Chains A and B, each alone.
Chain A
Amino acid sequence: GAVVSQHPSRVICKSGTSVKIECRSLDFQATTMFWYRQFPKKSLMLMATSNEGSKATYEQGVEKDKFLINHASLTLSTLTVTSAHPEDSSFYICSARDPGTSGNTQYFGPGTRLTVL
Chain B
Amino acid sequence: AQSVTQLGSHVSVSEGALVLLRCNYSSSVPPYLFWYVQYPNQGLQLLLKYTTGATLVKGINGFEAEFKKSETSFHLTKPSAHMSDAAEYFCAVSVVGGKLIFGQGTELSVKP
Contacts and interface: CB of A to CB of B under 8 A. Distances in A.
B34 A105 contact: yes
A103 B97 contact: no
Main secondary structure of the interface of A (DSSP, over half): strand
B65 to A, nearest CB: 14
Contacts of B98: 32, 49, 97, 104, 106
Which size class do B's interface residues fall under?
Answer: 20 to 34
Nearest to B53: A102
B76 to A, nearest CB: 16
A43 B43 contact: no
A24 to B, nearest CB: 13
Nearest to B32: A103
B104 to A, nearest CB: 5
Contacts of A102: 32, 49, 51-52
A93 interface: yes
Given A103-B51, A106-B100, A6 B43 contact: yes
Interface of A: 1, 4, 6, 32, 34, 42-44, 46, 49, 91, 93, 95, 97, 102-111, 113
Contacts, number: 59
Interface of B: 32, 34, 36, 41-46, 49-52, 90, 94, 97-100, 102-105
A105 B97 contact: no
B43 A110 contact: yes
A105 B51 CA distance: 10
A111 B38 CA distance: 11
A49 B97 contact: yes
Contacts of B32: 102-104
Given A34-B99, A110-B42, A113-B41, A105 B36 contact: no
B42 A111 contact: yes
A44 B104 CA distance: 8
B34 A93 contact: no
Contacts of A43: 90, 102-105
